[in-house]
Structure 1
Amino acid sequence: MTVSLPYVVFGVTGRTGAAAADALLRAGQPVRVVVRDPAKGQPWAERGAQVAVADLTDLAAMTSALSQARGAYVVSPQHYQREDLFALAGVIADITARAALAAQIPRLVALSSIGADRASGTGWIGMNRMFEQRLGDTGIPTVFLRAAYFMENWTPLVGAAVDNGTLPTFLSPPQHPLPMVATADVGRIAAALLQEESTNTSIVTLSGPEDYAPGDVAAIIAATLGKRVDVAVVPEAAWPQALAAAGFSAAALAGFIEMTRSLNSAHIDIKSDPRAVERAGTTPLKHVIAELARH
């Protein structure tokens, strides 16, 4: 009996990786999940997945995790509590690229972000740009999956709105729609792209079924809870204080501020790279926000 080679999935302790691995398993595909903590792999092993243990900065372990596989969904987790988060992202990008070459993996789907085509002025997204560039240099056929603003980014702000009837937002103006996407759709599309087995390198931008504004988020919370919810734009001077509880390092805070400024000014724009192919997820914002508001 011929045993099919697995698809390797990173980030299964996060939302997009878990969704990608789930979609592949549901499709009957063999899967190898990569975790740092073996205990985190146990639920996946119970579903029939192989489990590889690797730190993203360990070249030998990464090479082993990527070996004898049909393709891989790779991510670069961002460590917002560290001052050296950009340097660490560079190391992870380099190790991932070197391991993929050493493992001779035939293709990759790499999680990135809208704005990764911009050379500067994008804050945190500069880490995604490094990831893209280093993987691109390998020559391995790769789909760079540039996701829009995650709907789940609203989680702590929805909590505040549930508690006090006011939704704080760093995005402005509050009625200006932006592309947003559910992380479940990111993982599902990543799994679909892996199974396409194209031999080309490409860029895919991914948004939700429509664009949404902060005012839409507030309206969904209000409808879910049956009470009025106002929107309060946090002025930029107050951003550091508003984010004090988030545990960001000074470097991460500066990256957040630059990124958010660029979202508000449309320097970060889903349509800014003419090479990109647009795809849309199916999960509406209402599904994600109403679920958050109920919990």
Structure 2
Amino acid sequence: MFVIFGASGNVGRATAAVLRESGRPVRAVVRDPRHARSLEAWGCEVAIADLDDRESVDRAIRGAQAVQMLCPVPSGDPDPAAAMRRMIDVSAAALRAQPPARVLVLSDYGAELDSNTGITQGFHHFEQQVKPLASNLILLRSAEHMENWARVLPAVHAAGVLPSLHHPLTKRFPTVAARDVGLAAAALLQDEAPTPTSRVVSIEGPRRVSALDVAGALGDVFDRHIEARAVPREEWTPLLQRAGLSARHARLIVDLYDAQNLGRIDVQAGATERRFGTTTIEEVLGELAQRANIAARA
């Protein structure tokens, strides 16, 4: 049994779909029962679990041959870092108690760093907590997901301006489509080669992009000029809080972008196992706009 946590999300759905197409038995783990029907239609067994509830996590991984585990960022929590650590501690303890033949943890670029990386510091904690699994463990570190731009698309379409915390606007940074992460995860979960030590696999998209590239791609999608505008550093926190983030969450995002802009968050130096997705930023932005029903300007 292949157990996929977060199976209703962009990465998890892609992993589950590939595994089912390959004829593998999949237990799709979701928190919200409303996501069960579509996954059951693929032939998945569905388990309901809350990463804050050790008993439900234990039930979800029971009898697993392989487990894909994630730690979602709880954006509605007033203290997301503490909430992440609680979920990580619960899931890692469950995996250590019932170690399957293979565990794949969805992690992030920069997770090897132990401080001053904002949200990414939670993934460092995750990796440390699952380290005892050793030979059973694959850490799949991905670049920033292209889908993160979805939250600003309506405002960009309305104003013709892409606000960017990536500084300078010309700086190229790694990014990746969530579905490419899911496809890579499915391949790694099915790889039957022995893993004498834990593996760190890094994945990013086919090419690096800048904020100017993203604005250009959105201009093509919306059929209008989109201006990329660097948000001044002193305006980051007020901007994020106006978007609904708590003060602590905003601090984590500010620290994250500070680290990215300094070049600290990237593929780890000396990484030997790297993968590259095939989905372009243009494809993802077009799909996101279509999904949000945002049409080109008449």
TM normalised by structure 1 equals 0.93
2:252 to 227, 252, 255: 255
Contact residue 172 and residue 264 of structure 1 kept, 8 A: yes
Contact residue 53 and residue 90 of structure 2 kept, 8 A: yes
2:288 to 274, 280, 292: 292
User: SS state of the match for residue 150, structure 2?
Assistant: helix
With 134-143 and 283-292 compared, the bigger mean Cα shift is at: 134-143
Which digits, 9 at most, give the CA deviation of each residue in 1:172-194, with x for residues without a partner? Answer: 11111111100111111111110
1 CA distance for matches of 2:102 and 2:201? 15
Partner residue in 1 for 2:129 = 134
User: SS state of the match for residue 109, structure 1?
Assistant: strand
With 86-95 and 24-33 compared, the bigger mean Cα shift is at: 86-95
User: SS state of the match for residue 73, structure 1?
Assistant: strand
Partner residue in 1 for 2:52 = 57
Partner residue in 2 for 1:97 = 92
2 CA distance for matches of 1:242 and 1:220? 24
User: SS state of the match for residue 206, structure 1?
Assistant: strand
The percentage of counterpart residues that share the same residue type is 33
Written as runs of structure 1 = structure 2, the 5 A alignment for 1:214-293 is 214-270=211-267, 272-293=268-289
2:146 to 135, 141, 151: 151
Residues 84 and 241 of structure 1: is their aligned pair in 2 closer, same or farther, counting only changes over 3 Å?
A: closer
Residues 90 and 190 of structure 1: is their aligned pair in 2 closer, same or farther, counting only changes over 3 Å?
A: same
Does residue 116 in structure 1 map to residue 107 in structure 2? no
Does residue 197 in structure 1 map to residue 192 in structure 2? yes
1 CA distance for matches of 2:286 and 2:32? 32
Q: CA deviation at 1:140?
A: 5.3
1 CA distance for matches of 2:260 and 2:231? 15
2 CA distance for matches of 1:57 and 1:228? 45
Does residue 31 in structure 1 map to residue 39 in structure 2? no
Which digits, 9 at most, give the CA deviation of each residue in 1:49-104, with x for residues without a partner? Answer: 11112111222221121111210110001112323322222222222122123333
With 259-268 and 42-51 compared, the bigger mean Cα shift is at: 42-51
Residues 276 and 80 of structure 1: is their aligned pair in 2 closer, same or farther, counting only changes over 3 Å?
A: farther
1 CA distance for matches of 2:241 and 2:193? 44
1 CA distance for matches of 2:133 and 2:142? 22
TM normalised by structure 2 equals 0.92
Does residue 168 in structure 1 map to residue 163 in structure 2? yes
Which digits, 9 at most, give the CA deviation of each residue in 1:191-210, with x for residues without a partner? Answer: 11101134421111110001
Q: How many residues align?
A: 289
Residues 293 and 43 of structure 1: is their aligned pair in 2 closer, same or farther, counting only changes over 3 Å?
A: closer
Residues 121 and 276 of structure 1: is their aligned pair in 2 closer, same or farther, counting only changes over 3 Å?
A: farther
Does residue 83 in structure 1 map to residue 78 in structure 2? yes
2 CA distance for matches of 1:226 and 1:39? 36
Q: CA deviation at 1:168?
A: 1.0
Matched to 2:275, the amino acid is: R
Contact residue 67 and residue 103 of structure 2 kept, 8 A: yes
Residues 227 and 39 of structure 1: is their aligned pair in 2 closer, same or farther, counting only changes over 3 Å?
A: closer
Matched to 2:264, the amino acid is: H
Q: CA deviation at 1:275?
A: 4.4
User: SS state of the match for residue 178, structure 1?
Assistant: coil
Matched to 2:165, the amino acid is: F
With 180-189 and 22-31 compared, the bigger mean Cα shift is at: 22-31
Contact residue 17 and residue 187 of structure 1 kept, 8 A: yes
Matched to 2:78, the amino acid is: E
Written as runs of structure 1 = structure 2, the 5 A alignment for 1:13-28 is 13-28=8-23
Q: CA deviation at 1:125?
A: 0.2
1 CA distance for matches of 2:202 and 2:40? 32
Contact residue 202 and residue 271 of structure 2 kept, 8 A: no
- Gaps of at least 5 residues in structure 2 are none
User: SS state of the match for residue 137, structure 1?
Assistant: helix
2 CA distance for matches of 1:50 and 1:170? 41
User: SS state of the match for residue 56, structure 1?
Assistant: coil
